[in-house]
Amino acid sequence: MEISHNHLLSKPSYPRYYAFQRMEKVIKAMQHRQTGIPIKSQKLFLTTISNAFTGEDLIDWLEKNLEIEEIDEALHLATLLCKFGYYFQVTENGSTNVKEDSELYRFQSPYFWISTNWNAGHIDYAIYLLKRTMRNQEKHGLNDLELTILEDLRKKLAHQWDFVKMQADAQIKVLKDRKKAEKTFLDSQERAFWKIMRSANNSSSVLEEDARVNLMQVNPKFTKKDEFIRKKISFFEQSLKNRVRTKASQALQNLCAYSEIYFEYDGIFGHCQPSNPWITDDTTMWEVSSPLVEQPTQLRVKKWLFSFRELLSDPTGVREFMKFCEVEFSVENLKFYLACQAVKRAPLSELPILVHKIYKEHLSPEAGAEVNVNDIIRNKITKELDNPSRTIFYEAEKHIFELMKKNSYSRFEQSEIYKNLLEKAIIPAPKKSKIFHFVTLDYFRNRDESTDESDDDEQRGDFVAGGIYAPTAQSISAAAAGLTLSIAAAAGIKRHFSSSIDGKSDTAGLAIQNEN
């Protein structure tokens, strides 16, 4: 094997360097002679493994030295260190999941640590796989995935396969002369190394890097520091020149214009058409605002002219736009766009079937409703059909959206279909909200009613204020729980109570005059 001399990994500026540095610091503390994990010869069936430790000792050391209180956290940390290849399990399967049991582990040689930036080539891996086929198949046999990889390597390295076979034979002969304990240790060490360098396709690899890491790496072609700095300065200067600046006054002006456009559609700042159902008990607003209606309101139809996305966000607008596209024989674009939206919301299990159906209907050479996309986009989609994702039609969807926006939508705004919709659109009549929506006409009574009837009401504990007779306190509290008072209603209450108080004072004055 050859070690790559890539200097990025050894520099402190490299992002992953600090993660490796911390993990290796813990590993070195584990190997301390006095305070580390107790390492000694351990029995594995009839074989003695030297310099080994158990999973139970590993977990105990982590809890004690790293002050870990929960066992799950210690198991997780131990498993991560094992997956990074700092120690390995001395068994036939070589599992990387650490448990608090008597399984034996050994520390990996620092020569094989990831921080040394190993560059394991195809030849090394082919020798390892071929060597296992020459040994006992029950213990060292290859699985289906490894057999497939070996066949691929045999084709790629056909001109070097004799060398690979010769190296595998030589290593097998050297291995036969070793003791059983050494064989077990070397097999486990080699298996642990290749699990990291060539992990299976269905499992994650610790060698995978975050995409943001590449943004922080130094470009290797800039060998001189001064040249790299000059390039960076030039890049930032160009960025400053091409930067689009927007004044705060312009941003505020745009915000005000946006607020004015959508003012009538805001239930808080504007008004609810025809009335607020929470105040008037009229549910007309909910009926006319449902996703699909036979006859939309005038405000709703006008909103479709704000933008093409506003039209497509309204199911009723999509239905009317579909009718217009059918008249113009361009309905395939809208159907393709709606199908792309369905792909984004479809379950993963149904995704391949749905993608192939859309491709067959709109993009294949024999498509009955073919859409107008260029060959570059079409070929890219064709290559991804075997393993489709939710974004497979992203570029095609964007292209079709722009076509509809420039052509079909602009004609829809000026069409007779839209004008007829605007003329026939309903304008719900507003309803006046009541001050006390739970008070009926039976509660309003005159002062000239019989005194006995008033006395009976007072005996029942009813509330009398300003000539308004309300129900009992219990019914008032229950109805007032859903009461919503506006500013105008509050002003009306104030005027009403003021007039009633004046009326009471006049009545009291007449009574005093009569007594005199």
Q: Which residue ranges make up each domain of the chain?
A: 17-115, 120-198, 296-424
pLDDT tens-digit profile, the chain (516 residues): 333 434 334 444 445 777 888 888 898 899 888 888 888 887 777 677 777 888 888 889 998 888 888 888 989 898 888 888 888 887 756 567 788 888 888 888 887 787 776 666 788 888 888 888 887 776 777 777 888 888 888 888 888 888 888 888 888 888 787 777 677 767 777 777 777 776 655 455 666 555 445 544 545 544 456 777 888 888 888 877 766 667 788 888 988 988 888 888 877 776 677 777 777 777 888 888 888 888 898 888 999 999 999 999 999 999 999 999 999 888 999 999 999 999 998 998 899 999 999 999 999 888 888 898 888 999 999 998 988 888 899 999 999 999 999 999 999 999 999 999 999 888 887 766 555 444 444 444 444 454 444 444 444 444 333 333 333 334 433 343 443 334 444 445 445 445 444 444 444 443 444 444
Nearest of 263, 267, 264, 265 to residue 255 by alpha carbon: 263
Which distant-in-sequence residues (6+ apart) come within 8 Å of 6 by Cβ? 117, 119
- What is the rounded distance in angstroms from the CA atom of residue 317 to the CA atom of residue 229? 55
Which distant-in-sequence residues (6+ apart) come within 8 Å of 56 by Cβ? 100, 101, 102
Nearest of 79, 42, 60, 279 to residue 181 by alpha carbon: 42
Quick one: tokens of 37? Answer: 């994990």
Q: Please provide residue 3's backbone torsions phi and psi, each rounded to the nearest 5 degrees.
A: -100, 130
| Cβ–Cβ < 8 Å for 343, 358 | yes
The set of long-range contacts for 484-491, using a CB threshold of 8 Å and a minimum separation of 24, is: 484/276, 484/278, 484/279, 485/435, 486/279, 486/433, 489/433, 489/435
Nearest of 451, 448, 445 to residue 467 by alpha carbon: 445
First vs last C-alpha separation in the chain: 124
Q: Which CATH architecture has domain 120-198?
A: Orthogonal Bundle (1.10)
3-state secondary structure 261-291: HCHHHCCCCCCCCCCCHHHHCCCHHHHHCCC
pLDDT of residue 173: 84
Q: Does the CA dihedral 298-303-308-311 come out positive or negative?
A: negative
pTM exceeds 0.75 for this model:
no
- What is the rounded distance in angstroms from the CA atom of residue 308 to the CA atom of residue 41? 75
- What is the rounded distance in angstroms from the CA atom of residue 87 to the CA atom of residue 51? 12
- Residue 62: count other Cβ atoms within 10 Å of its Cβ: 22
Q: Which amino acid is at 115?
A: S
Which numeric CATH code is attached to 296-424? Answer: 1.10.167.10
pLDDT of residue 210: 52
Largest Cα–Cα distance in the chain? 136
Is the domain spanning 17-115 CATH 1.10.10.10? The answer is yes
Rg of the chain over CA atoms, in angstroms? Answer: 40
- Residue 18: count other Cβ atoms within 10 Å of its Cβ: 11
Torsion of the alpha carbons at 29, 33, 34 and 35, rounded to the nearest 10: 20
pLDDT of residue 1: 39
